[in-house]
Amino acid sequence: MAMKAGYILIGLLVLVGSFANTSNANAITPRYGISSLNRTSFPKGFTFGLASAAYQYEGAAFEDGKGLSMWDYYSHKYPEKIADGSNGDVADDQYHRYKEDVGIMKDMGLDAYRFSISWSRLLPNGKLCGGVNREGINYYNNLINELLEKGLKPFVTLFHWNLPQALEDEYGGFLSSQIVDDFGDYAELCFKEFGDRVKHWITLNEPLGYSVGGYALGLLAPDRCSDWQNLNCTGGNSATEPYIVTHHQLLAHAAAVKVYKQKYQAIQEGTIGITLVSNWLVPYSNSTYDRHSALRALDFMFGWFMDPLTNGDYPHIMRSLVGNRLPNFSKEQSMAVNRLISLE
């Protein structure tokens, strides 16, 4: 994909892995040659920062009008499914100690801080019609202002796997297309309240992890998977639900980007994008079979999300192998998702 000069691609995180067998004459052996790494190793203007997720850092899970989140519900209802039985009720207590945290970041010489907003802290019932929690708005205003005062740029993630439980209860969260409009409304609230100071927005954090971890492997809330996997999940269908959830995540991303570009970007002069994650696979050998295998695996991880964002549809190999379990984009949806990857 060609990117025009001046565009920013936010959050393309590629975890590099490889497989090599020195006994195989055709094996591809990677080379690593980094002897030292510091600021001078990067281009001038490169941004160094830290990143966090609201549930892991904020705490104050039941304070100041915040609504119940998916992880609040899950960690209390199923504590035995958490390795050490812990939860995010207090976490790092950033809600109360954000000034201390920002001071540490400044002392470290960082340029930016990427944090996620807790949807249920702003909208306790998940929807605008359920009321806006002004205490939640005040907290994020204070955090953003403190960052700017200390010379750090705020990068804000709208969704880091922590849905309002009210929406999970009402219609199954990202299993329903209803989530698209509700996410768009939530995103617009954030743009209205914080966009005068926030110039870097991320719609979704690593949606692959949410789709697979939460709806195929039973590793993350809401802990759904097929019964035959014997993982003691709360319900689900690993053969269909991950594809549905991914589809609605992409449409929710498109809804948020559309409203930002149409109503706020020109005035606020910010950027908006998505954070994707993928393993990187190197073919075991130069054989056609191994090369196709590596590409197929990439299509089912990275292409699953990037192809719709750049081509308007899922990879051909997914269409072929997944069949009618893979949702379809309407013509309008395809155009909307496809047009919203470049960041200006």
18-23 LR contacts (CB < 8 Å, sep 24+): 18/280, 18/281, 18/282, 19/281, 19/282, 19/284, 20/282, 21/284
> Helix axis angle, 241-263 relative to 207-215, nearest 10°?
150
Give the pLDDT confidence score for residue 35 in this predicted structure: 72
- The encoded tokens of residue 197 equal 């100071």
Are 137 and 193 in contact, with CB atoms under 8 Å apart?
yes
* Confidence band for 32, pLDDT divided at 50, 70 and 90: low
Give the pLDDT confidence score for residue 200 in this predicted structure: 98
Q: Determine the topology of domain 45-280 in CATH.
A: TIM Barrel (3.20.20)
Q: For residue range 189-240, what is the model confidence (pLDDT) as tens digits?
A: 999 999 999 999 999 999 999 999 999 999 999 999 999 999 999 999 999 9
> Helix axis angle, 134-149 relative to 94-107, nearest 10°?
10
* Confidence band for 14, pLDDT divided at 50, 70 and 90: very low
Q: For residue range 108-155, what is the model confidence (pLDDT) as tens digits?
A: 999 999 999 999 999 999 999 999 999 999 999 999 999 999 999 999
Q: For residue range 271-292, what is the model confidence (pLDDT) as tens digits?
A: 999 999 999 999 999 999 999 9
pTM over 0.95: no
Average pLDDT, the chain: 91
Between CA 137 and CA 121, with CA 260 as vertex, the angle to 5 degrees is 20
Give the pLDDT confidence score for residue 38 in this predicted structure: 85
Report the alpha-carbon distance of residue 31 to residue 28 in Å, rounded.
Answer: 10
> Which is it for the CA torsion 316, 248, 81, 94, positive or negative?
positive
Which residue type sits at 309? L
Is 73 or 341 the better-scoring residue by pLDDT? 73
What share of the chain has pLDDT > 90, as a percent?
A: 86
